[in-house]
Structure 1
Amino acid sequence: MTHWKSGTQPINYDLNPNDPRNLKQKEEDLKGLPQEYQNFYREVSQFIPYQRIFIDPFYTLGYGIDASFYRLIPKIVIRVQNDAEMGEILRLSQRTKIPVTFRTAGTSLSGQALTDSVLLVLQGSWRHYQVHEGGKKISLEPGILGVEANRYLRSFKRKIGPDPASIDHCMIGGIAANNASGMCCGTADNSYKTVDEMRIIFDDGTILDTADNASRQHFMERKADLIRQIEGIRDEINADPDLVAMIQKKYKIKNTTGYSINAFVDFHDPIEIIKHIIIGSEGTLGFISQITYKTVIDFDHKASALIIYPDMDHACHAVMRLTRDLVAAAEMMDRASLRSVEDAPGMPDYLKTLSDTATALLVEVRSANPEELNQYIAKATSVLEDIPTVFPIQFTAVKSEYETFWKIRKDIFPAVGGVRPQGTAVLIEDVAFPLDRLAEATADLRNSLNKFGYTDAIIYGHALDGNWHFIFTPKFDTDEEIARYEGLMNEVNEFVVKKYNGSLKAEHGTGRNMAPFVELEWGSKAYQLMQKLKAAFDPYNLLNPGVIINDNKNVHLENLKVMPQSHETIDSCTNCGFCQDICPSKHLTTTPRMRIILQREISHLKRTGKDPERLMRLLMDYDYAGNATCATDGLCATSCPLNINTGDNSKYLRSRAITPATRKIATALAKNMNGVTGVMRVGLGVVDGTHSLLGSRVMGTLAKTARGVSQSKIPLWNAWMPSKGKGKVKPLQPIYTAKNGEVLKVVYFPSCISRSMGPARKDKDQRPLNEVMCSILAKAGYEVIIPAGLDKLCCGMPWESKGFFDIADEKSAELEKVLLKASENGKYPIVCDTSPCLYRMKRAFKSGIELHESVEFTHDFLLHRLKFKPVSETIAIHVTCSSIKMRLSEKFKAVAEKCAEKVIIPDDVHCCGFAGDKGFTYPELNQAALAGLSQAITDDCTGGYSNSRTCEIGLSAHSGISYQSLIYLVDRCSSPLR
């Protein structure tokens, strides 16, 4: 057993004066709340810091939206961090009769994470975990991502059972509360079947830790009435053989409609019943503050085949021949599904050639060894071989190839947003049929979709479980559209239940979406028992009211979310939330999803002229919390299936805010780059000299005082500020000459940042980066060409980030012209020492000349021309966001591992948030982005390495160790071949 460990924990930041959470503004916002909520706020603020309580229109809207097609705006949002806080809030809810709703990542699809009352947000907190029994069990708090849980288990070759398609983005709390399953776990390895223990906080703040005998005994005594009611429901169910038989039959297939009343049949002990009834209860019975899973084997050897059948009927009959003993998964995708992703990068070309009826079946087999894997492949192929296919069945065990197949499957739901008509919502339904009637049921489903005009609807899902998802894109802006949706749902629900005895919700949870139909599926007696169950746990209906049990038969047609257009950079967003975890400002201000939600609202208010006071408030608050703290790093696009770069929208908004005065200044700076870099060097020299004179402690105190007095207008100094750069670049003579007399030449463009900023006072290597770069090039035998007029050149990135797109393009074009000449029209490769600059050059240049980032060039051109002696040290590396977008992560890692015996790559650190100059002007963004860095750096780590000078400043400041370009380490560890 290991000790409790923790993922990244949030920090209570000192708020910027422009943040809408400031106390003065809160007092004004409080007046707009109903009196009972004013009272609730004042009480809760006695034990929750005001920075984590939101009552303003900006944050309540931003936090209020989830991935479903409903919209409810909470009156109060609270970021809750631990059991004690949650218990106090629930007790306060009881006293005031104010309802509360729990939210983790908000990726749920059925409206179960929404409220117009108090929303309790866990994201960023609840991140402790503990691995037991050599990985056979793992205890997890609810704020941990599913993918992180599996990362903690990776060294044990285990994983958690649930494997939803959104596992990289959804959290353990939501996985358990919705009984999410997925593509491989079926009904055998979901949360219900693999839960071992649980810690639950109930409506009155009572805590039950099922793993602790004393806690169980205390609970049995304190909640004796609840125990009696549970035993009464248990006995009533088991006294009815027909009801027992129905429950057992319905859970042979996936089913998350209503409560998990199979717990009353599967278990006798009331604590075991509670533990399992909480699974899938969607936060309506209690709060899961910790869950222990029994883990499953994560097989080393896998192979997948993307089998293309001529139509859905053939594909369904193929699935009916497969069993989970033979294959781990069988995912079906109709032609519309494939069409939604066929244009995405890396997709197989043949997807575009398929007929309109073609249907794909993605089959995966897994095993502990290659020999057994081949046996499974052969048997699966044999079972399916007489069913006609478009292409021969071909399995691949190559990871990159089968991961492409699975990316097709995982990206379908969000990708629909990219092809849907603008202004429409993306609605996903989730049903299950008995496998032996799958082909017939699928035909009925398609006919209903066509009948109600949803001819472009997509059908796909977990075919091995008879579990279909179908996606369509209604526009809920007219009564006719809502009526059409209502007609479809009524018809589909009727035949799913009455014709096929299927599940109305297989794995997405009941939510608001299916609450009116729980009684249709289960019948009046079972439904009445569910109502009794809800009343036993939550007699005042304060825990996520309206979800699962709801007397309003039209709730699924109310509070429907419209998707107003805002700008082409963000209009295709579906609010899936996949972008959130990678965003550097996620714990500070807003996430990409929140920014898009807010921009849509702002655009809607501008277009309609409604509520101008609200519009002005949103615009004012967005300036800091949406715009200024957006790093525009673009990593959100790497986790978005639609490749939406919310940073592009921020740049667009900045371009719209440009005034004639700011344009004049920007133009002058662009025309006088040599003066700009000269002034920067002089300024850095003065600051460095002052630092030397005063020391770090005094200098730091003065800097913080000055920033406070200036209302955060003066940039914040830190002890890792660089010294002045030397500006001039002197290439060295090549040391190594090839035997064949080959003349190696390279054009080296040192960025204006690396020319202006030298090492920090505490950096290990005090040489300027351009000197180090020239050193390794000389060792490798390269003659270095330095472009003429270097002090006037810039890639244009500083202007692009501020929205001066035309000036940025002018600077890029100027640089490109010089580099073309220096490289003799691309005869020689060009290398740049700063990854963000190189990324800008690659996007902006028109000529197609060969451009390389410094670490990339080292990997591709220098490793075989140098001798390496790795240092016997542990080092940390940070791959910048621009390098990630250029797909250089593996090359960066390979170069680092060539130079050091142990390389650390912090899992929870993405973009550093320094974002050009924001590390100085908005240092809280850099602090928030790197909150998990210091705990990821081991005590034996001797240094850190990256490939962007400004990023290295922030990395050093928040890790306590020196970060420099990886080129420094390459130079230190390498020597000429002879």
Structure 2
Amino acid sequence: MRTQHPLTVQATAQLNSVSLPAAFLHAAEQLIPANRRFDDPTSTLAFGTDASFYRLIPKLVIRVESEDEVVALLKLAHREHVPVTFRAAGTSLSGQAISDSVLIVLGDNWNSREIRNHGAQIRLQPGVIGAQANAWLAPYGRKIGPDPASINACKIGGIVANNSSGMCCGTAQNTYFTLAGMRLVLADGTRIDTEDPASLTALRTSHSTLLDELARLGRETRANTALAERIRHKYRLKNTTGLSLNALIDFDEPVDILTHLLVGSEGTLGFISAVTYDTVPEHLHKASAFIVFPDVETCCLAVTVLKQQPVSAVELLDRRSMRSVQEKPGMPAFVRELSAGACALLIESRAASAALLQEQLGHITASIAAFPVEKQVDFTTDPAANAQLWAIRKDTFPAVGAVRPTGTTVIIEDVTFPVEQLAFGVRRLIELFERHCYDEAILFGHALEGNLHFVFTQGFNNPAEIARYQAFMEDVTQLVAVEFGGSLKAEHGTGRNMAPFVELEWGSDAYRLMWQLKRLLDPTGILNPDVVLSDDPHIHLKNLKPMPAADAIVDKCIECGFCEPVCPSKGLTLSPRQRIVMWRDIQAKKRQGLDTQALEHDYQYQGIDTCAATGLCAQRCPVGINTGELVKKLRAQNAHNLRTANWLADHFSTALKGARMTLHVANGARMLLGAPRLNQWSARLSQLSKGRIPAWTAAMPQPQDTLRFTPQPAMDRPRVVYLAACVSRAMGPAASDREQMSLQEKTHALLTKAGFEVIYPENQDSLCCGQPFASKGYNAPAERKRQELIDALMHASRGGLDPIYCDTSPCTLRLVQDLNEPRLDLYDPVRFIRSHLVDKLTFHPQDTPIAVHVTCSTQHLGESQALIDLVRRCSTQVVVPEGIHCCGFAGDKGFTTPQLNAHALRSLKDAVQYCDEGISTSRTCEIGLSQHSGLDYHGLVYLVDRVTTALTAP
């Protein structure tokens, strides 16, 4: 390799500062609406990040919503010689989803599916999240073959383009081997649909030369005995290094060669607009065992035996990886006590029936019975025990990320050794960790395929660190590719990371063939340059992503993007990952003495104002980061009306009267002007006030005046303290709602029906959990109100003797988080109904379909499935809309930032169009849900009360 000094991000940015051709920009403006074209510094930096340790800042980001747009853009880019890169979810680990030219990002309209032959096949567009595809196939007992660890976030486009696999997929069930059809767009804008005879006929006419060349290259490759045998050997292993040359020896038909070349091509040969999979069985009967062997050699010998057994997954963990998680809560105690050289296998077997599973387990156990074992957890079918065992494996990568020094990044590499040489490969890799001082590095992987992941932390802040990384990678590539004849990339894709080493692994003949294919399918070199194949031997050392300190809350972020699918603002402004990227950049620029005023101005709206701060991102984050906590902290720093907040906290009953008065005025205006005219006028007024005056909608609540319930004689009935949230006390049903009884009245009636004596806290109108203050950054009055409420509940419940029912799940969550009073027994509606009411009521389920919205707080409380199950008791038809995780109303954001609520619920109306009503557990969420669905959304108690009668004593 020729010597070339690695470039920093800043230096590379200067070299790539040439602007896009004016002709391209002008034409793009005609093709794509302005709201889907981004060239401002905030957007381009935010999109310049994927899950890898590289960063390129695109000059233009375009969100595409149709294949027609992709075709037009590719024709334009082809004509103007403008490089383009495609992005689906951006969970790629090797730098294949970034660009310093034009980044084309999938929009909302790439989510269609077609299920065929009772689930035997499924046709998917590239925007479908992998886990969603499996959810659609679950009723048929099927799934797609690939099962990457990122399946809850990554999209089909990336799964195909990277030929992703996973823990159970192996080599037999990846996209390449389960591909049944493809729709694609070539670099020149030509569309091809392999399932459409007319499309193939047109292709044979327009691109006969291309097809002839593919056929010729196939014949020549198959005739080259040495090369053909090398290709077969390489794909006997898990391998995603370079282009999929196996297409040339596995297929004769040029179209088949073409589509299989696209698999694993990482967007360098064309755009995949749909793919048809042959699905695979999803066996529900499964069992797992965890076996610790005294050393690596014994462990790997056991793997060779297990490869012949009916196992679905065999995961290897070295002692370092187990040590990284041994102190985590919930880990089995024995993990701490293992010897220094221990090496473990996590084994899973699946079967179509319980009897067959037990038979398989007997064969597996017998096959490895002769091996010495240090510790063994026998096969178990118990879901909780299984989850605990798999947590050992799944928590290893996050464990390294969580303890890394601030400013460093987490790198996860994946290589393949021939299984018969796995033990030697593991030993040699560990020696390299020690030689290059990667003391924190851990090793684990999919042992059946000889596929090992190793995770280490790396700083790129100075030349010495970059040189250490360079030397380490050169040793790794020599070890894996040359000495062992393995794969440098088993399932994460070549990207920029291994592009300089493709020839080292494959040899000159195969490498030259890859370049022939690239130039044949992308003659102008516009598709994702420097990915998979690169003329630059140091491309893996350039454009290294900085990870500057920003705030302790988010400094452990590894920018993987797992958080993004559940974020309501993603696609409107920023996702959690992008919020962190931007805040890191702002803080780094401040430390450099640069002016960040413009960036902070943009960040105020894009990063802070439009964040729902509900914390769902933390549930998906591998290292548990709640980006909403950072946003709340920033809001607190800008909370300049503390005196007003304190006054409202001290005079809360007066504030509640003011809220009721506002709703009275709005309701009076509705009766005077009529709903359509009020809607129009208030929208204009809200616009003129820049959102300070909320717009009225038909879902706006009517005022709820204070209710007083006459105490009933106890008659030895069980007591329950009913905490009506302040929104329930102020907001009644909308005027158009067919349910005109207030939530308080309905809840009181249901609790009484079930035989409870209902108790209310004293001075209820002055009580508040503090959430309205906390969400705006006024933490002191928020905590004061919370403690005041807890004291009142302690008194009302007789020191915690009685259960406490809160009618709104966000308020329940606010109260139970960090609760220092263990005597309080607090319930949200879901938990109380399932725990205390189900056995006191007879359910008479209705036939009309019901839509269910699981609020963020319900998810945090762990009651999501319980809510769905309760609604299923009430209705024979239950709809849980796909892809809606947070409604974006976020307390009062539905009033002050209604575009967030509208964006989060943009797909709701179509999803629930055949439903009769909607159910949730948060009064404010129900306002937005009703507005954007056209349905009446109510609290769960309305439905339960309607379909139940008091249980008659036998």
Q: Normalised by the size of structure 2, how large is the TM-score?
A: 0.96
Q: Cα distance, 1:703 vs. partner?
A: 2.0
Say which of 344, 351, 375 aligns to 1:360.
Answer: 344
Aligned position for 1:52: 36
Residue 600 (structure 2) pairs with residue 619 (structure 1): yes
Paired with 2:902 and 2:326, the residues of 1 have a C-alpha distance of 39
Aligned position for 1:656: 637
Q: Cα distance, 1:587 vs. partner?
A: 2.2
Q: Cα distance, 1:400 vs. partner?
A: 4.0
TM alignment of 1:799-818, pairs within 5 A: 799-818=773-792
Say which of 507, 519, 523 aligns to 1:539.
Answer: 523
Q: Cα distance, 1:217 vs. partner?
A: 2.0
Q: Cα distance, 1:684 vs. partner?
A: 0.8
Paired with 2:679 and 2:332, the residues of 1 have a C-alpha distance of 55
Task: Tell me: CA distance 1:957–1:404, structure 2 relative to 1, closer, same or farther (3 Å).
Answer: farther
| C-alpha RMSD over aligned residues | 1.8
**Contact 1:731–1:774 under 8 Å retained in 2:** no
TM alignment of 1:280-429, pairs within 5 A: 280-323=264-307, 326-342=310-326, 346-429=330-413
Say which of 881, 884, 903 aligns to 2:859.
Answer: 884
**Contact 1:431–1:502 under 8 Å retained in 2:** yes
Q: Cα distance, 1:114 vs. partner?
A: 1.0
Paired with 1:80 and 1:957, the residues of 2 have a C-alpha distance of 28
Q: Cα distance, 1:340 vs. partner?
A: 3.9
Task: Tell me: CA distance 1:62–1:840, structure 2 relative to 1, closer, same or farther (3 Å).
Answer: same
Say which of 917, 929, 942 aligns to 2:892.
Answer: 917
Q: Which moved more, 1:511-520 or 1:352-361?
A: 352-361
**Contact 2:309–2:363 under 8 Å retained in 1:** no
**Contact 1:731–1:786 under 8 Å retained in 2:** no
Structure 2, unpaired ranges of 5+: 1-15
Paired with 1:809 and 1:311, the residues of 2 have a C-alpha distance of 53
Paired with 1:657 and 1:335, the residues of 2 have a C-alpha distance of 47
Task: Tell me: CA distance 1:817–1:603, structure 2 relative to 1, closer, same or farther (3 Å).
Answer: same
Q: Cα distance, 1:344 vs. partner?
A: 5.2
**Residue by residue, what CA displacement relative to the aligned partner does 1:335-387 show, whole Å, maximum 9, x if unpaired?**
33334445556544544444444433221111111111101111111112222
Paired with 1:725 and 1:236, the residues of 2 have a C-alpha distance of 80
TM alignment of 1:433-582, pairs within 5 A: 433-582=417-566
SS in 1 for 2:109: coil
SS in 2 for 1:268: coil
Paired with 1:528 and 1:548, the residues of 2 have a C-alpha distance of 13
Paired with 1:322 and 1:474, the residues of 2 have a C-alpha distance of 35
TM alignment of 1:600-619, pairs within 5 A: 600-610=584-594, 612=595, 615-619=596-600
Task: Tell me: CA distance 1:411–1:703, structure 2 relative to 1, closer, same or farther (3 Å).
Answer: farther
Aligned position for 1:750: 724
Q: Cα distance, 1:803 vs. partner?
A: 0.9
Residue 653 (structure 2) pairs with residue 674 (structure 1): yes
Paired with 1:250 and 1:360, the residues of 2 have a C-alpha distance of 27
Task: Tell me: CA distance 1:731–1:627, structure 2 relative to 1, closer, same or farther (3 Å).
Answer: farther
TM alignment of 1:152-301, pairs within 5 A: 152-301=136-285
Partner amino acid for 2:658? V
SS in 1 for 2:827: strand
Task: Tell me: CA distance 1:383–1:35, structure 2 relative to 1, closer, same or farther (3 Å).
Answer: closer
Partner amino acid for 1:935? D
**Residue by residue, what CA displacement relative to the aligned partner does 1:626-673 show, whole Å, maximum 9, x if unpaired?**
1111001111111112111111110001011122xx111111111110
SS in 1 for 2:380: coil
**Contact 1:809–1:844 under 8 Å retained in 2:** no
Q: Cα distance, 1:305 vs. partner?
A: 1.7
Partner amino acid for 1:919? G
SS in 1 for 2:765: helix
Q: Cα distance, 1:160 vs. partner?
A: 0.8
Paired with 1:734 and 1:169, the residues of 2 have a C-alpha distance of 55
Paired with 2:555 and 2:672, the residues of 1 have a C-alpha distance of 53
Q: Cα distance, 1:897 vs. partner?
A: 2.3
SS in 2 for 1:392: strand
Q: Cα distance, 1:676 vs. partner?
A: 0.6
SS in 2 for 1:781: coil
Q: Cα distance, 1:846 vs. partner?
A: 2.1
**Contact 1:143–1:173 under 8 Å retained in 2:** yes
Aligned position for 1:27: none
**Contact 2:400–2:440 under 8 Å retained in 1:** no
**Contact 1:729–1:771 under 8 Å retained in 2:** no
**Contact 1:830–1:850 under 8 Å retained in 2:** yes
SS in 1 for 2:916: strand
Say which of 66, 72, 82 aligns to 1:88.
Answer: 72
Aligned position for 2:668: 689
SS in 1 for 2:265: coil
**Contact 1:166–1:410 under 8 Å retained in 2:** no
Aligned position for 1:766: 740
**Contact 1:196–1:292 under 8 Å retained in 2:** yes
SS in 1 for 2:800: coil
Q: Percent same amino acid among aligned pairs?
A: 46
Paired with 1:108 and 1:686, the residues of 2 have a C-alpha distance of 53
Paired with 1:406 and 1:692, the residues of 2 have a C-alpha distance of 60
Say which of 947, 950, 953 aligns to 1:976.
Answer: 950
Residue 709 (structure 2) pairs with residue 722 (structure 1): no
Partner amino acid for 1:656? Q
Paired with 2:160 and 2:331, the residues of 1 have a C-alpha distance of 33
Partner amino acid for 2:776? K
Structure 1, unpaired ranges of 5+: 1-31
Partner amino acid for 1:708? Q
Say which of 732, 737, 761 aligns to 1:787.
Answer: 761
SS in 2 for 1:975: strand
Q: Cα distance, 1:824 vs. partner?
A: 2.0
Task: Tell me: CA distance 1:747–1:351, structure 2 relative to 1, closer, same or farther (3 Å).
Answer: farther
Task: Tell me: CA distance 1:765–1:806, structure 2 relative to 1, closer, same or farther (3 Å).
Answer: same
TM alignment of 1:25-40, pairs within 5 A: 34-40=18-24
Q: Cα distance, 1:411 vs. partner?
A: 4.2
Partner amino acid for 1:692? M
Q: Which moved more, 1:248-257 or 1:929-938?
A: 929-938
Aligned position for 1:5: none
**Contact 1:340–1:418 under 8 Å retained in 2:** no
Paired with 1:713 and 1:793, the residues of 2 have a C-alpha distance of 26
Task: Tell me: CA distance 1:66–1:776, structure 2 relative to 1, closer, same or farther (3 Å).
Answer: same
Q: Cα distance, 1:426 vs. partner?
A: 0.6
Task: Tell me: CA distance 1:626–1:48, structure 2 relative to 1, closer, same or farther (3 Å).
Answer: same
Q: Normalised by the size of structure 1, how large is the TM-score?
A: 0.93
Task: Tell me: CA distance 1:56–1:731, structure 2 relative to 1, closer, same or farther (3 Å).
Answer: farther
Aligned position for 2:8: none
Aligned position for 1:10: none
Residue 683 (structure 2) pairs with residue 704 (structure 1): yes
Task: Tell me: CA distance 1:392–1:671, structure 2 relative to 1, closer, same or farther (3 Å).
Answer: same
Paired with 2:399 and 2:128, the residues of 1 have a C-alpha distance of 25
**Residue by residue, what CA displacement relative to the aligned partner does 1:795-852 show, whole Å, maximum 9, x if unpaired?**
0001111111111111111111111122222121212111111111112532222211
**Contact 1:74–1:117 under 8 Å retained in 2:** yes
Task: Tell me: CA distance 1:640–1:347, structure 2 relative to 1, closer, same or farther (3 Å).
Answer: farther
Task: Tell me: CA distance 1:844–1:762, structure 2 relative to 1, closer, same or farther (3 Å).
Answer: farther
Q: Cα distance, 1:944 vs. partner?
A: 1.1
SS in 2 for 1:964: strand
**Residue by residue, what CA displacement relative to the aligned partner does 1:277-319 show, whole Å, maximum 9, x if unpaired?**
1111110011111111111111131222232333433322221
SS in 1 for 2:62: strand
Q: Which moved more, 1:474-483 or 1:709-718?
A: 709-718
Aligned position for 1:23: none
Paired with 1:733 and 1:310, the residues of 2 have a C-alpha distance of 69
Aligned position for 1:903: 878
